[in-house]
């Protein structure tokens, strides 16, 4: 059932590219013909995720943040990376725990959007390899007990909290995103991610129900999901090219 | 253009919302009860016994009104390391005080934790002046399932 939807999703990505491809390309009207180089390092984007700090603040967690960066090396191809830190209190069905950790993602974005002259927006597909180092601290949990004779509630929170520290996980992300230039050199973007867990350490007498950066981990499914909502600043690196623009 | 993007985003969230819930399957491991066998002190063999009004100390509700069996399963109090049961045999009342250590075991997200127990050797009959219980012997101190008898009450 879920697999089918993933395939539909992947298929839908291709349909979008066709639609985008139908837009008129106006390259010939450009008065300045720029020479195309194979490697064209011309832009560095640095930005912040806007959602995570606000969310962590609203939920009285410690500050969570994500810094994003991408370096354009070909016309439509960028090396991209995210570094983040997360602190989140999670109330699950049977366990309440706090997940804290840092993560690092590295990969690429491929732009599918053909801009009109002077515009610089993008719809892109990307992939990341990601790794996270984190702690999951159990604050309280319920005991599964079919006999209610002795216990009215089976919540255990007067125990010493159990800290499962030094956990690791790594995964691959497939993402789709859009980025729109709102003010000159400032971009608002959103990216949606499907994560495929490759491996994670298994703590003694617990399992990693949440991995910072990966998000919720389900028992018998290695797929997860996530998103970010970013504000980025674009730093032009190719000054000659910029000067040639009117 | 924007419409397409929105459609794409909606499709993505549809996938996310279709995520399967982790449910605890029926038949998963559970917190187990203690299994008590009754043994005739003279013949040293399992013997059926008739007990009435089995209840926990300081509890108003009765867990078994009458039993007539050679084996009895009783739940342990998971928020304590001691569970006391009042056993009434022919109107003679003895109190079985079961002492143990709880070990909480993680199963999975859906089921959470269960409790296993290790019986303490100080498990005893509290009022043993002229009671019907002659002796209590622990034969298996770990309670990880309900298949094996954990202790015998000799009468």
Q: Is A219 on the interface with B (CB under 8 A)?
A: yes
d(CA B38, CA B46): 6
Higher pLDDT, A70 or A219: A70
pLDDT value at position A77?
Answer: 92
Distances, alpha carbon B137 to alpha carbons A118, B36, B153, in Å: 88, 10, 7
**CB < 8 Å to A154, chain B:** 78-79
State the nearest Cα–Cα gap between A147 and chain B, in angstroms.
6
B56 vs A contacts (CB less than 8 Å)? 149-150
Q: Measured between beta carbons, which residues in chain B are less than 8 angstroms from residue A20? A: 1, 4
Compute the average pLDDT of residues B106-124.
88
Partners of residue B115 in chain A, C-beta under 8 Å: 143, 145
Domain assignments of chain B as residue spans, ordered by start: 23-154
Using the Cβ of A8 and the Cβ atoms of chain B, whether some distance falls under 8 Å is answered with yes
Q: What is the DSSP string of A22-50?
A: TSPP-GGG-SSPPPPPSS---EEEEEEES
Q: Is the pLDDT at B2 greater than 80, yes or no?
A: no
The nearest alpha carbon in chain A to B73 belongs to A147
Q: How many CB pairs under 8 A join A and B?
A: 120
Indicate yes or no: CB of A151 within 8 angstroms of CB of B79: yes
Q: Say what the ipTM of the complex is.
A: 0.75
Q: Is A194 on the interface with B (CB under 8 A)?
A: yes
B108-134: b (≥16 Cβ within 10 Å) or e = bbbbbbbbbbebeeebebeeeeebbbe
- Which of B9, B22, B26 is best to mutate for the A interface (most A CBs within 10 A)? B22
Q: Please list, in sequence order, all residues whose beta carbon lies within 8 angstroms of the beta carbon of residue A117, skipping any fewer than 6 positions away.
A: A26, A27, A29, A30
* Beta-carbon separation of A94 and B12 below 8 A: no
A142-151, B39-48, B101-110, B142-151: lowest mean pLDDT where?
Answer: A142-151
Min Cα distance A180 → chain B (Å) is: 11
Average pLDDT, stretch A152-160? 61
Domain spans of chain A? 39-145+152-244
Residue A149, chain B, CB below 8 Å: the answer is yes
- Asked if A150 and B76 come within 8 Å (Cβ–Cβ), the reply is yes
pLDDT, position A140 = 86
> Which residue numbers of B have CB closer than 8 Å to A's CBs?
1, 4-5, 8-9, 11-16, 18-20, 22, 24, 28, 30-31, 33, 56, 59, 61, 63, 75-80, 83, 104-115
Write the pLDDT tens digit of every residue in A53-105: 999 999 888 999 999 999 999 888 999 999 999 999 999 888 899 999 999 99
**pLDDT at A214 exceeding the cut of 80:** yes
- A interface test, pick of B24, B113, B115, B145 with most A CB neighbours within 10 Å: B113
Residues of chain A contacting residue B58, judged by C-beta atoms under 8 Å apart: none
Residue A63's closest CA among A48, A83, A47, A85? A85
Q: Which of A147, A156, A191, A193 to mutate to test the interface with B (most CBs of B within 10 A)?
A: A147
CB spacing of A221 vs B61 below 8 angstroms = no
Separation CA B63–CA B54 (nearest Å): 6
Instruction: Evaluate if residue A222 carries a pLDDT over 80.
Output: yes
Please tell me the class of the A39-145+152-244 domain: mainly beta
Q: What distance in Å separates the CA atoms of residue A103 and residue A126, rounded to the nearest whole number?
A: 18
* Contact between chains at A147 and B115 (C-beta distance less than 8 A): no
User: In what helix (H) or strand (E) does residue B116 lie, and over which residues does it extend?
Assistant: strand B112-119
| Residue A81 per-residue DSSP state | E
Cβ-nearest to A221 among B20, B77, B104: B20
Whether pLDDT at A17 is above 50 = no
Q: A68: closest CA among A133, A135, A132, A128?
A: A128
d(CA A103, CA A213): 6
The mean pLDDT of chain B is: 84
């Amino acid at each position: 059932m879920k697999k089918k939807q993933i395939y539909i999703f992947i298929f839908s990505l291709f349909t979008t590219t066709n639609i985008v491809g139908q837009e008129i390309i106006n390259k010939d009207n450009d008065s300045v013909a720029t020479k195309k180089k194979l490697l064209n390092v011309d832009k560095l984007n640095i930005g912040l995720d806007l959602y995570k700090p606000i969310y962590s603040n609203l939920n009285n967690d410690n500050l969570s943040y994500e810094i994003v960066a991408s370096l354009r090396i070909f016309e439509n191809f960028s090396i991209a990376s995210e570094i983040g830190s997360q602190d989140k209190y999670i109330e699950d069905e049977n366990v309440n725990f706090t997940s804290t950790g840092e993560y690092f993602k590295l990969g690429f974005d491929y732009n599918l959007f053909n801009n009109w002259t002077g515009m610089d927006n993008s719809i892109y597909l990307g992939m990341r390899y990601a790794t996270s180092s984190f702690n999951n601290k159990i604050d309280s949990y319920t005991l599964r007990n079919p006999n209610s004779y002795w216990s009215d509630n089976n919540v255990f929170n007067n125990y010493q909290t159990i800290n499962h520290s030094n956990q690791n996980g790594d995964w691959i992300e497939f993402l789709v995103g859009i980025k729109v230039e709102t003010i000159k050199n400032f971009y608002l973007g959103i990216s949606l991610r499907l994560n495929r867990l490759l491996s994670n350490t298994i703590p003694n007498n617990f399992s990693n129900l949440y991995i910072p950066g990966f998000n919720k981990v389900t028992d018998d499914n290695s797929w997860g999901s996530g998103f970010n909502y970013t504000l980025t600043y674009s730093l032009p690196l190719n000054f000659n090219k910029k000067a040639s623009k009117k | 253009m924007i419409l397409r993007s929105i459609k794409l985003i909606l499709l993505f969230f549809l996938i996310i919302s279709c995520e399967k819930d982790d449910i605890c399957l029926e038949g998963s491991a559970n917190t187990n009860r203690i299994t008590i066998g009754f043994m005739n002190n003279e013949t040293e063999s399992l013997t059926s016994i008739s007990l009435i009004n089995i209840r926990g100390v300081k509890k108003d509700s009765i867990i078994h009104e009458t039993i007539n069996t050679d084996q009895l399963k009783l739940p342990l109090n998971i928020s304590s390391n001691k569970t006391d049961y009042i056993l009434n045999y022919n109107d003679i009342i003895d109190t079985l005080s079961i002492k143990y250590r709880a070990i909480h075991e993680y199963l999975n997200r859906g089921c959470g934790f269960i409790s296993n127990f290790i019986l303490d050797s100080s498990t005893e009959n509290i009022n043993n002046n002229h009671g019907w219980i002659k002796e209590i012997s622990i034969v298996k101190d770990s309670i990880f399932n309900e298949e094996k008898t954990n202790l015998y009450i000799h009468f």
